């Protein structure tokens, strides 16, 4: 990803996201960091965090999506732009890990497939990654668009 200069890109991302928040009239402060050489982390603080994280963080995901689209050229060469607020992503990952482990155990014991509710691509990827090396089960995604879900199946 050497084609992207984070020292130049970081202020552009920060300005873009700050403008989005300003135009939305949300009471949020934007903090942008580039500690990872291949990623820009955008975090939020402020009174409107509950709005940002409501409905499984739909607004947080939407802002991340819009920003990634605005910087599509840089994302295409490997830059990661990740949004978080109030430690939501870590908490969500832990929740998904527990759900995945329980689903895998249930499928191993019953040999009956388990289908998760629809989830976004990031959450589906976490489930697949967690279960990729679990003996006796396999995963696949099914459905289209916002109805796409992870299915845990007995392994063969």
Over the stretch 72-112, which tens digit does the pLDDT of each residue have?
Answer: 999 999 889 999 999 999 999 999 999 999 999 999 999 99
| pLDDT score, position 122 | 87
Q: Are 120 and 61 in contact (CB under 8 A)?
A: yes
| pLDDT score, position 151 | 97
CATH of domain 6-86: 3.30.300.20
C-alpha closest to that of 40 among 69, 66, 73, 74: 74
| pLDDT score, position 156 | 67
- pTM of the shown model: 0.81
| pLDDT score, position 35 | 86
Percent of the chain with pLDDT over 70: 97
Q: Answer whether CATH 3.30.1370.50 is correct for domain 90-154.
A: yes
Give the domain ranges of the chain: 6-86, 90-154
């Amino acid at each position: 990803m050497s084609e992207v200069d984070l020292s130049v890109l970081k202020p552009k991302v920060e300005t873009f996201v700050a403008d989005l928040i300003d135009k939305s009239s949300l009471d949020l402060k934007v903090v942008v960091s580039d500690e990872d050489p291949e990623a820009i982390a955008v975090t939020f603080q402020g009174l409107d965090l509950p709005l940002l994280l409501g409905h499984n963080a739909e607004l947080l995901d939407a802002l991340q999506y819009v920003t990634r689209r605005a910087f599509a050229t840089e994302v295409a060469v490997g830059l990661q732009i990740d949004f978080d607020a109030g430690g939501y992503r870590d908490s969500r990952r832990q929740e998904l890990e527990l759900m995945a482990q329980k689903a895998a155990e249930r499928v191993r014991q019953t040999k009956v497939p388990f289908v998760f509710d629809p989830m976004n691509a990031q959450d589906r990827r976490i489930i697949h990654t967690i279960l990729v090396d679990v003996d006796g089960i396999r995963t696949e995604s099914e459905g289209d668009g916002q109805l796409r879900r992870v299915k845990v199946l007995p392994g063969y």
